[in-house]
Amino acid sequence: MAKCKICKQPYQKRRMTQKVCETVECAQAYAVIDRHMKELKEIRARKLAIKPRGQWIKEAQIAFNAYIRERDKGKPCICCGNALTNEAIGGGFDAGHYRSIGSAPHLRFDERNCHGQRKQCNRYGAGRAVDYRIGLIARIGLAAVESLEADQSVKKYTIDDAQRIKAEYRAKLKALKGES
């Protein structure tokens, strides 16, 4: 026996798609809800369709940065070697890019280019580029740092790319949290 979505009473289903019992009250009540749900679905679909590329990239960046912060928690700050504190809401430290997103957008999702950094260093110390470089060499090696510095490739992220990156880093973050 199926259960009516409105009155919660059991009833005999006549069609596979039937959701409510045979009473007019339940049929009408359900029709209203059903229409409302369909409208919501349409609005959501429309919103998704018009979400601009920049918004998708922003969301991918949030997912990427969250992964970097999880990867680097417990490590010292990339530039000054001080402890990364993580008591503030939203993460007490940043995922700081060595080559900034503004000047090297093609490296915005490069894991070698992004490391846990204290907010003071990242935001108020102009990224502390020289100290960052020293810390980065210690962490990933001179060859990798030089390859980052030499990389002038042009990368244009499509909406598909951004969606894929967002999903990838959400999964990576989950996996990382599951392991620890």
Judged by the rule CB under 5 A, the positions of this chain that interact with Zn ion are 4, 6-7, 20-21, 26, 77, 79-80, 118, 121
CB of 7 to Zn ion, least distance (A): 3
Q: Which is nearer to Zn ion, 11 or 105 (CB)?
A: 11
CB of 26 to Zn ion, least distance (A): 3
Q: Which is nearer to Zn ion, 80 or 176 (CB)?
A: 80
Helix/strand/coil for 52: coil
Residue 169 and residue 163: Cα distance in Å, rounded? 10
Beta bridge partners of 95: 116
Q: Which is nearer to Zn ion, 53 or 119 (CB)?
A: 119
The burial of 40, by beta-carbon neighbours within 10 Å (0-12 exposed, 13-18 middle, 19 or more buried), is given as: exposed
CB of 35 to Zn ion, least distance (A): 18
Helix/strand/coil for 153: coil
